[in-house]
Chains A and B, each alone.
Chain A
Amino acid sequence: MTRSLVARTGTGLLILLYGLPFVWLVATSLKSDTEIFSATGLIFEPTIAAYQTVVNSDLLHACVNSAIIAAGTTLLTLVLATPAAYALARVKGLLVNVGLGSLILLQITPQPATLIPLYRVLGGWNLLGTQLGVVLADTALLLPFCVLIIRPFFLSVPQEVEEAGVVDGASRWRVFWQIVLPITLNGIATGATIIFFIAWGEFLYAITFLSDPAQYPISVLIAGQIGMYGIRWSNMMAIAVVASLPILAIYAFTHRLLRDGLALGSVR
């Protein structure tokens, strides 16, 4: 009896703690500038004026840029990370320790520390100011993380499954492609979802390596305006809501995957 009371109170508290900030975000985006100043909380007359101001061709263009950068990063990261994660789940000994050790080392490097060296590398390849350059930088940032997320899924594939394939005369590549990958699709989808989300919100590389505003993703619009004095909060919140929508849409389909996949990836 008391346990269920504690559980109910706790659940209610969690819903408030995690729901209210988003309710407030949306509410603020629906306020007029005067109502923001008069501190009316959640009781106000909604207006879509902020959306009418911020949703224009520039913002939609920025969303397309974000989609290009995030999708490109996700694709490239998966292509590189999936075979690597498989190898690190199948080989034993020094190679694995060195491999995992370097991945963790790269994973824990603070992102700003890589800005200047990456600037030089991308500059040498004439990729500064291009979205391809940002995709390469983002991939370098997220590849170690992706391998670490996906590897446990390969570890959980029973060796016997692969041995059966080999005995049947399939090549190693076919075993990987036709037997192992279909079993581990959940893990790969988990990795893809997380990489896409992070790449969608990445702003430091984009703001540093891009120079033409026409190429900016939506994250740079937000990060670029946040430091300015006299932020128009209703407009800012409207942009934040627009930037969250694609994530919400994907999350609606993948949240069960994330719920189960994340725990697997981190406990191992």
Chain B
Amino acid sequence: MRTTVGAGVGWAPAVSRRSLRLRPRGVGLYLLPAALFLAVLALYPFIELIHMSVSQVSSDNIFGDWPFIGTAGVQAVAVTADFREAAVNSLIYVGLVVGVGLGGGLAAALVLWRGGPLSGFTLALMVFSWALPGLINGVDWRFLLDPRGMVDTILSVARVPPIYWLVEGRLPLVSVALVNAWTVVPFATLVFRAALLDMPGEVLAAAEVDGARPRQTLRYIVLPLLRPTILVLTILSLLYAFKSFDFIYIMTFGGPGTASTTLPFLSYRLAFEIYKFSDGAAVAVITLGLIILMALVYLRSVHREERA
């Protein structure tokens, strides 16, 4: 900021290249509308959420005063059986969405990598299911997993008796997670595909000339080159899966009982089924704490990639 020429938004024609690039003041104004909007409609609600989690709030005083109770509420809710079950459910859910989503995405990207007559169509078909709202995919799969639906009908050809995917034991949680993963796969495919297309052709050609088999090329050349992509996708899908909500809402509503209730859904149920607003907020705050931990890892990894 050595020159004060053209203070404000205006730009003098004779500024040096250096100051042109590093001038935050004028450009900062471009941030202002979004910043103001988010401050009122996103940051303030966020602070209210934290406020609620350290207060005693039920349906009696939701519109009145909120007595301060400190971290007692957060501590109390964290030791309940419901919370523990939801935490375990969240782990299973996130693990399945990330594992199946990325594994499936990598496999699909490798299959579609070299092109071919149907690969463009296939990709477009897959990305369509990503583009559809979770609401519609959820409704569709809720019926597909019904005993009269697609999956059991296909299985019945092999004389498998009907399976109650959204009712029995841990199956509902696993089913919803797999459906969610089904919509993550196309996104992962796109990102992996872009990384594969960016790969240096000479290296791959050299491997082929040296007589490497496809499996060896994949293991020793392609996968190591994909490392940064895998890292970024892992964190992105982790963050996404942890807060995922609409598939559970539409397909099982957390049930039967609490069998498919994850942490964000527990927070919702506490607040809107039994009106324990501060307990719901406490669960949300704990969930956020966990997510922030992961986000920090993400920021660090991105930072490292950008520097590399």
Whether the pair B150, A227 counts as a contact (CB closer than 8 A) is no
Whether the pair B135, A203 counts as a contact (CB closer than 8 A) is yes
Contacts of B45 in A (CB 8 A): 114, 117-118, 121, 140
Which A residues have a C-beta under 8 Å from some C-beta of B? 2-3, 6-8, 10-11, 14-15, 17-22, 24-25, 28, 36-37, 39, 41, 79-81, 83-84, 86-88, 90-93, 95, 99-102, 104-118, 120-121, 136-137, 139-141, 143-144, 147, 159, 162-163, 166-173, 175-176, 193-194, 197-198, 200-204, 219, 222-223, 226-227, 233, 236-237, 240, 243-244, 247-248, 251, 255, 258-260, 262-264, 266-268
Output the least CB separation between B242 and chain A (Å): 7
Please measure, in the bound complex, the distance between the C-alpha atom of A170 and the C-alpha atom of B11, giving whole angstroms: 8
Which B residues have a C-beta under 8 Å from some C-beta of A? 9-11, 13, 15, 17, 20-22, 24, 26-31, 33-35, 37-38, 40-46, 48-49, 52, 62, 107-108, 110-112, 114, 116, 118-119, 121-129, 131-136, 138-144, 146, 148-150, 153, 156, 182, 186-187, 190-191, 193-195, 214, 229, 232-233, 236, 239, 242-243, 245-246, 249-250, 253, 264-265, 267-268, 271-272, 277, 280-281, 284, 287-288, 291-292, 295, 298-299, 302, 306
Please measure, in the bound complex, the distance between the C-alpha atom of A83 and the C-alpha atom of B65, giving whole angstroms: 39
Output the least CB separation between A117 and chain B (Å): 3
> Which chain B residue has the least Cβ–Cβ distance from A13?
B111
Please measure, in the bound complex, the distance between the C-alpha atom of A245 and the C-alpha atom of B184, giving whole angstroms: 21
Whether the pair B124, A14 counts as a contact (CB closer than 8 A) is no
> Which chain A residue has the least Cβ–Cβ distance from B265?
A112
> Which chain A residue has the least Cβ–Cβ distance from B13?
A169
17 further A-B contacts with Cβ under 8 Å, apart from A7-B111, A18-B125, are A10-B108, A11-B122, A14-B112, A17-B182, A84-B30, A93-B24, A110-B245, A111-B245, A116-B62, A140-B45, A201-B133, A222-B139, A226-B142, A251-B128, A258-B131, A263-B190, A267-B191
> Which chain B residue has the least Cβ–Cβ distance from A90?
B27
Output the least CB separation between B248 and chain A (Å): 11
> Which of A41, A193, A266 has the most B CB atoms < 10 Å from its CB?
A266
Interface of A is mostly: helix
Whether the pair B149, A81 counts as a contact (CB closer than 8 A) is no
Whether the pair B28, A114 counts as a contact (CB closer than 8 A) is no
A84 CB contact (under 8 Å) in B35, B136, B143, B277: B35
Output the least CB separation between A20 and chain B (Å): 7
Whether the pair B41, A137 counts as a contact (CB closer than 8 A) is yes
B15 CB contact (under 8 Å) in A11, A88, A91, A166: A166
Output the least CB separation between B143 and chain A (Å): 5
Known: A118-B45, A136-B41. A236 touches B139 (CB 8 A): yes
A139 CB contact (under 8 Å) in B41, B122, B243: B41
Whether the pair A255, B128 counts as a contact (CB closer than 8 A) is yes
Contacts of B186 in A (CB 8 A): 18
14 chain-A/chain-B pairs, Cβ below 8 angstroms: A10-B111, A22-B129, A24-B144, A39-B153, A86-B27, A91-B24, A113-B267, A116-B271, A118-B45, A137-B41, A167-B13, A172-B27, A227-B253, A266-B191
